[in-house]
Amino acid sequence: MPATLLRIHPENPPQSRIQQAVEVLRKGGVIIYPTDTVYGIGCDVTNAKAVDKVCRIKKLFPDKANLSFICHDLSHISDYAHGITTSTYKVIKKALPGPFTFIFEASSNAPRFGGTKRKTVGIRVPDNQIILQLVKELGNPIVSTSVREDENTIDEYVTDPDLIFEKYRLLVDLVIDGGFGGNVPSTIIDCTNDDFELIRQGAGDIEQYL
């Protein structure tokens, strides 16, 4: 069946519409949603079949895919990552919610995409009420990868939810229209060595939090 296009107010998301999207996730659905950077494609992190579907859509191998987890707040991070020092935690607490992906060593609880144990995990807490309310209501993190196919190009469709819907309506189960998105992805920071190594400069400036 073609996807549903669900319009949700970005600043005051109605609970009924959040619940509608959560039900799709709980049934193993794949959704497209707004973040504080670009639109993302994702699913419930605990649903292996849904994760495989996300990877097929993006033409990724599950065991090699650099998928990040969207969490509602910092309380989820310790469930999936370990080795976070107090000094590192203080920095990410200041930076989040925000346009960052922080990479940590994966804990034993981190999902095994493609049956392979992950060495690292990327954590996102976007400054966007729609996705944060979705994750909170779902009760699990959401696996996330950007709608963009090529990080080196800017395509018109990645910012316009109507164009996103036209492109992906036969591939996903739900597209959330939360207004126009950005075209600059999150800044990726590697924290695995108790340092803040810049992997990709994106919308966030980590220097202001160090």
pLDDT of 185 higher than 80? yes
Average pLDDT over residues 33-56: 95
State the pLDDT at residue 169. 96
pLDDT of 200 higher than 70? yes
The owner of tokens 């859509």 is 57
* Per-position DSSP letters for the chain, written without gaps between them: -PPEEEE--SSS--HHHHHHHHHHHHTT--EEE--SSS-EEEEETT-HHHHHHHHHHTT--TTT---EEE-SSGGGHHHHEE---HHHHHHHHHH-SSSEEEEEEE-TTS--GGG---SEEEEE--S-HHHHHHHHHHSS-EEEEES-S-TTS--GGGT-HHHHHHHHTTT-SEEEE-S---SS-PEEEE-TTSS-EEEE--S--GGGG-
- 69-85 pLDDT per residue, tens: 999 999 878 888 988 99
State the pLDDT at residue 179. 97
State the pLDDT at residue 43. 97
- 83-132 pLDDT per residue, tens: 899 999 999 999 999 999 999 999 888 877 766 677 899 999 999 999 99
| pTM: predicted TM-score of the whole model, two decimal places | 0.94
The owner of tokens 């990868």 is 145
Average pLDDT over residues 194-200: 93
